Chain A
């Protein structure tokens, strides 16, 4: 992404974007490490830092050694295990509460607190972490498109497809898998409300692993833990690989490279350093009251609005200028930081920083057009 936007908007934007991506990829890695630590801490009694170290070493070895090819192959296997495992948990859990009718009856009987737990869109006034304006404007219009169109980890894998048709088909297949997510991963969370309500009250991040422990017999349980770990590892390997690519191509080779530089070695070292940085940043995740999902989305909300505007303007608007892009990137992230400090909901932060970035891009590009366009 920085390379493409650098070609469009110049070297300063490329460098800044590369730095932003590397920092946030490391921060995002920390959320995955925290999730793996919580699972093994409660279920297997492993020490938090032992778990994180084991996951970091495992992922580091095959990602640094095998690169994007290894990441894609392991991700395909992990995806199959993950979805089969998730479906097993959902159906066993549903049987436990008396089927979908039993679940709905329990929700209805639980009073107003759980009134909207089967609704996709929840009113603003309700006591919710996901108001429908945030889901539509923040998640639907900004974070999701930014993730699928402009996230380095996704774009890098898509560009690795053997043809344009395969790349498009993989996106559609990804969208299909996303429609299964509510059954395989959201439904078990809902079942946790009734099957392990004491855990839900204490720590939302522990619901899924403890549901596995409660509902499934030995053997199947192991497969599910493998599935859970697979999901985390597939994210860690993708992000570490992406950070390595960005740092090597957009920073190291441009500023420190010469004819003797081995890009593969730089990439491998960067991959390991990024994973280590992710481990160091794990304690920051504890600052988020609502758990790992909020931490992950909040990190993304911080910079995805401005970068999506850069991408869209770069592709769709001929008059978008280098000064406009630089202003958008710096100003958009400043808006995100300000709104976050004012306690604006993170999904709304994504939307407002996107809106502010559009204004900044248009006004700065018109005021300071590129020399070629001005001529």
Chain B
């Protein structure tokens, strides 16, 4: 139950899985209700990108 069978595996697996979660989040944000959203800087989808990118970079750097 504590995932002992994964002991000794490289944490790069975890890094890839985290990245996939964030990419899925990006895809989800950018594929829904495009027409109804705000224009210009009020379009919050634009603000999601730097945040998610920063998170992905943190996992790859550390």
| A interface residues with partner B (beta carbon < 8 Å) | 118-125, 131-133, 135-136, 140-141, 165, 168-169, 172, 175-176, 179, 182, 339, 342, 344-345, 348, 352
Contacts and interface: CB of A to CB of B under 8 A. Distances in A.
B3 to A, nearest CB: 4
Given A124-B4, A172-B51, A118 B14 contact: no
A175 B8 CA distance: 32
Nearest to B13: A132
Q: Which of A123, A165, A172 counts the most B-chain CB atoms under 10 A from its CB?
A: A123
15 contacts: A119-B11, A119-B62, A120-B62, A121-B15, A123-B8, A123-B10, A132-B11, A135-B14, A136-B14, A165-B42, A169-B44, A179-B54, A182-B58, A344-B1, A352-B1
A124 to B, nearest CB: 4
B44 A124 contact: no
Interface of B: 1-4, 6-11, 14-15, 17-18, 21, 38, 42, 44, 47-48, 51, 54-55, 58-59, 62
A175 B6 contact: no
Contact of B21 (A140, A165, A172): A140
Contact of B59 (A121, A122, A169, A175): A121
Please list the 4 inter-chain residue pairs (A to B) with the smallest Cβ-Cβ separation, ordered nearest first.
A132-B14, A125-B7, A121-B11, A133-B3
Given A123-B8, A131-B3, A140-B21, 17 more contacts: A118-B62, A120-B58, A120-B59, A120-B62, A121-B18, A123-B9, A123-B11, A124-B2, A124-B9, A125-B8, A136-B17, A165-B38, A165-B42, A172-B47, A179-B51, A179-B55, A348-B2
Nearest to A119: B62
Given A169-B44, A172-B51, A133 B1 contact: no
A119 B21 CA distance: 19
Contacts of B62: 118-120
A141 B42 CA distance: 28
Given A133-B3, A344-B1, A344-B2, A124 B8 contact: yes
Nearest to B43: A165
